[in-house]
Amino acid sequence: MINMNRILNNPFKNKGTAFTLKERQQLGLDGLLPPKVQTLQQQVDQAYQQYQSKPTNLAKRQFLMTIFNTNRILFYKLFSQHVVEFMPIVYDPTIAEDIEKYSDIFTQPQGAAYISIDNQNSTNAIKRALVYASDGRKIRLIVVTDAQEILGIGDWGVNGVDICVGKLMVYTAAAGIDPREVLPVVLDVGTDNQKLLKSPNYLGNRHARVTGDKYYDFVDKFVKTAESTFPDMYLHFEDFGRDNAANILNKYRSQYTVFNDDIQGTGIIILASILGALNISHEKLTDQRYLCFGAGTAGTGIANHVYREFIQQGLSPKEAKKHFYLVDKQGLLFKDDPTLTPQQKVFARDKSEFDHPDRLTDLLSVVKAIHPTILVGTSTAPGTFTKQVVQEMAAHTKRPIICPISNPTKLAEAKPKDLLNWTDGKALIATGVPYPDIKANNGVTYQIGQANNALVYPGVGLGVLAVHATRLSDEMISAAAHSLGGIVDTTKPGAAVLPPVSKLNQFSNNVAIAVAKTAVKQGLTKSKISVDDVPKLVKQTRWSPHY
């Protein structure tokens, strides 16, 4: 009896109606399923019919989560046949709505590990949570969040667990990461979200965020316990707050194989977007002037990776820095500002460079003063790339590169259709969420590249796992960005700056091979591997859904 329950209730083992009659007998499942034995494809088709009947995106997501919670193979087979359609449902933007409502609509813990600073703040308690949640599985990938800065929607406390589950789904759908080897983890250190603290339904710790040493000690216990419990594990940090994200990455990256998606994943995808745009415009990177709008975790992370590419392409660090400008709430960031974060300080400017520095307090004035050729929005401030800003930028460069990537959709700095219309189709655009093709006023149909880190982090993970990389180096990150080139036909009018999501599987493979080869060349693998073996190892590491 116990055995039977374990199998039908174990999403990693359950096949549902696809258990053959013989299996049903052997496993003690006689009479526990309707008589018809279905193939995986029949289950997929039937599930897809049900999916289509759901009235809203949230209802669609919840339906898919039911499949996810009962049968992972069915879920991933279904996902694999509808990647483009499902990405915005299981992931961004629908996931944002799901996170906001998580406690109100809670039905299932989704196989995550919940680690609370209140009652699990010890190595033993953390280890127990990790061991119980992994239930005997060998974990090779953890996505962890403390949910302080979820997408652009802010602090969502324990509700943020969804982003880890969603990111992991994309790992498997895009790059074939074995779903049995992954674990979503949420660190609940409290929340400063008053709405949650007041809500009777809220399921997390009901107090303000713990900060300072106590917070860092807790994170440290988690990292060390996770690393010792799962020694062959790649640790992905997601949506930590601006004051902590870079600190945590920098603290652990020379010791463990860790990755911060908002800093590094976003760095890769925007660098790839820029390289893709320059392939279309035939301009040189080192001729560009870069303006970051919203200099937080993602903004400064991206700037840093693009800056490295300037150096890669021959500029000295001092020369390269001259091409970068950061704007945040206060306007252009200057060195004498005592509120700058360490990441902002790197690119802050001298007031003496400008005639009227005190006037540079809004985006339009800064654009007028510096004439950027690349504008990247990570501000969470919707609609801030106005017609005036964009036309001012376009007046001084032939093909302005514009990336409004604040998520979800409602927070984007601009809509791609407007950007195209305001610039007569000249803007080279990448957005955070997917957009359908756009027919602009000039008659050309434009494809819009999706600059979401989801296009690259799965491939990076696959590469790391395939060769058991011991660190994730800047060189591996740069290789990932470069590997996205050559897929789009850049001669076609309206070509996108990035390859389409429909080719996610193909280019995740390219990313994985590039990352893994670089790790091998740098000697950053657990054992010695030949570069020639990398494609084979990547292929072997890819899991695919079948019974």
Ligand X SMILES: O=C(O)C[C@H](O)C(=O)O
For the annotated catalytic residues, the residue numbers are 91, 167
Cβ–Cβ < 8 Å for 260, 167: no
In this structure, the strands spanning 113-116 and 182-188 are parallel
Binding range to ligand NAD, per CB under 6 A, among 68-76, 174-182, 399-407, 497-505:
399-407
The annotation status of 413 as a binding-site residue, yes or no, is: no
Neighbours of 194 (CB within 10 A): 10
The annotation status of 14 as a binding-site residue, yes or no, is: no
Closest CA to 223 of 250, 205, 190: 250
Task: Rule CB under 6 A: choose which of 98, 100, 146, 149 binds ligand NAD.
Answer: 149
Residue 379 site contact among Mn ion, ligand X, ligand NAD, none (CB < 5 to 8 Å, cut-off depends on kind): ligand NAD
Residue, CB closest to ligand X:
92
Q: Dihedral angle at the C-alpha atoms of 230, 469, 479, 521, nearest 10 degrees?
A: 180
Which is nearer to Mn ion, 262 or 392 (by Cβ)?
A: 262
Q: How far is CA 137 from CA 231, 273, 461, in A?
A: 13, 37, 18
Residue 420 site contact among Mn ion, ligand NAD, ligand X, none (CB < 5 to 8 Å, cut-off depends on kind): none
Helix intervals (H) in 159-287 = 161-175, 194-198, 212-229, 245-252, 266-281
Taking CB under 6 A as the rule, which mask of x and - marks residues 94-133 in contact with ligand X?
----------------------------------------
Distance CA 96, CA 1 (A): 40
Taking CB under 6 A as the rule, which mask of x and - marks residues 258-287 in contact with ligand X?
---xx-------------------------
Distance CA 547, CA 528 (A): 34
Reading the block at residue 340, the tokens are 């700058």
Using the rule CB under 6 A, is 92 a contact of ligand X?
yes
Task: Rule CB under 6 A: choose which of 111, 400, 432, 459 binds ligand NAD.
Answer: 432
CA Rg value for the chain: 24
Which is nearer to ligand NAD, 130 or 189 (by Cβ)?
A: 189
Using the rule CB under 6 A, is 452 a contact of ligand NAD?
yes
Using the rule CB under 6 A, is 453 a contact of ligand X?
yes
Q: 211: buried, middle or exposed (CB in 10 Å: 19+, 13-18, 0-12)?
A: middle
Using the rule CB under 6 A, is 411 a contact of ligand NAD?
yes
Task: Rule CB under 6 A: choose which of 329, 335, 345, 526 binds ligand NAD.
Answer: 329
Cβ–Cβ < 8 Å for 515, 464: yes
Evaluate the CA torsion angle 10, 12, 15, 20 in order and state its sign.
Answer: negative
Binding range to ligand NAD, per CB under 6 A, among 73-81, 375-383, 461-469, 509-517:
375-383
Which residues on adjacent β-strands are paired with residue 377?
293, 404
Which is nearer to Mn ion, 100 or 239 (by Cβ)?
A: 239
The annotation status of 193 as a binding-site residue, yes or no, is: no
Using the rule CB under 6 A, is 328 a contact of ligand NAD?
yes
Distance CA 112, CA 177 (A): 17
List binders of ligand NAD among 226-285 (CB under 6 A). Answer: 242, 262, 266, 269
Closest CA to 461 of 143, 241, 79: 143
Using the rule CB under 6 A, is 409 a contact of ligand NAD?
no
Helix intervals (H) in 324-415 = 342-345, 363-370, 387-394
Binding range to ligand NAD, per CB under 6 A, among 34-42, 307-315, 449-457, 479-487:
449-457
HSE-up (13 A, CA, CB side) for residue 450: 23
Helix, strand, coil in percent for the chain, rounding step 5:
50, 10, 40
Residue 150 C-beta: closest distance to ligand X, Å: 7
SS3 296: coil
Taking CB under 6 A as the rule, which mask of x and - marks residues 379-418 in contact with ligand X?
----------------------------x-----------
HSE-up (13 A, CA, CB side) for residue 415: 10
List binders of Mn ion among 258-297 (CB under 5 A). Answer: 262
Reading the block at residue 260, the tokens are 């911060």
Q: How far from the centroid of its chain's Cα atoms is residue 459's Cα?
A: 12
Residues in the chain: 547
Using the rule CB under 6 A, is 151 a contact of ligand X?
yes
Using the rule CB under 6 A, is 148 a contact of ligand NAD?
no
Residue 175 C-beta: closest distance to ligand NAD, Å: 16
Cβ–Cβ < 8 Å for 323, 288: yes
List binders of Mn ion among 233-252 (CB under 5 A). Answer: 239
Binding range to ligand NAD, per CB under 6 A, among 41-49, 83-91, 112-120, 401-409:
401-409
Taking CB under 6 A as the rule, which mask of x and - marks residues 220-239 in contact with ligand X?
-------------------x
Residue 349 C-beta: closest distance to ligand X, Å: 27
Residue 250 phi/psi, 5° resolution? -65, -30
The annotation status of 407 as a binding-site residue, yes or no, is: yes
Q: What residues line the site for ligand NAD (CB under 6 A)?
A: 149, 151-152, 242, 262, 266, 269, 293-299, 328-329, 378-381, 405-407, 411, 432, 451-453
Q: What residues line the site for Mn ion (CB under 5 A)?
A: 239, 262
Q: What residues line the site for ligand X (CB under 6 A)?
A: 92, 151, 239, 261-262, 407, 452-453
Q: Which residues fall in the annotated binding site?
A: 238-239, 262, 407, 452
